[in-house]
Amino acid sequence: MAEALALVTATATNRETSTTMTTIATTEDERDNQPIIVPARVTMVDGTHIHVATQFCYLGCIFTSDLSDKTEILTRLRNASNQIGAMANFFRSTADISTKLQIFMALPVNMSLYGCESWALTEYLRRRITGFFCKGLQKIMRLGYKQVEQYRIRNEHLRIKLCLDDPLDTVRKRQHSFLGKVFRMPHSRLPRRFLTAWVAKPCRASQPFTSL
């Protein structure tokens, strides 16, 4: 009886763990916006089942097995866009534009750029960040797609009119500030040691030399 009860308990625990890992490893397809379940891999170590997920969430950040920032950045941009949609009535209201900009920079922009100090951006991700920022400015100015196309309103024109910096410049400033903070650390600190670390192994063609 005790062995049967232990077997049932272990089975329920394994199912619960598998369900948790499968739920964490959920992403959204960029093409059709349908959720995709990333299957978890099960490994046996000394008779113990260890669930290895291709991605997981830790302290609000999404880590993937390929160490890419794409999933993390796209998830943050999607959540920030949902936040803008939740405040659509406020952005369509007759409130002062400066107030709208302060709310926009304080909430959606900070949410989308959280943790950008360690991002490795590709050209595709740069376009997505710039596109999110400009769509938010269009909502603040109450501009529709037809008006943008008819009057050929460019993104840089909106930023100049509203006296705002390019979002990519904001990312660079935060990254430089973080690097300066790490560089001022004592040499005994691990972040300071990793700043000048490299892999003593020949790299492939067209890749950086002696980089971590």
Q: How confident is the model at residue 3 (pLDDT cuts 50, 70, 90)?
A: very low
When mean pLDDT is compared across 4-8, 27-31, 57-61, 83-87, the lowest value belongs to: 4-8
28 within a domain of the structure (yes/no): yes
- Statement to judge: residues 46 and 19 lie in one domain: yes
Domain span at 105: 70-178
- Statement to judge: residues 32 and 100 lie in one domain: no
Query: Distance between CA atoms of 171 and 28, rounded to whole angstroms?
Result: 24
- Statement to judge: residues 74 and 165 lie in one domain: yes
Q: Which residues pair with 52 in a beta bridge?
A: 41
Tell me the C-alpha to C-alpha distance, in Å, between residue 103 and each of 90, 92, 96, 133. Answer: 10, 13, 11, 13
- Statement to judge: residues 88 and 51 lie in one domain: no
- Statement to judge: residues 51 and 89 lie in one domain: no
- Statement to judge: residues 59 and 74 lie in one domain: no
Number of domains into which the chain is organized = 2
Mean pLDDT for the chain overall:
77
When mean pLDDT is compared across 39-48, 55-64, 81-90, the lowest value belongs to: 39-48
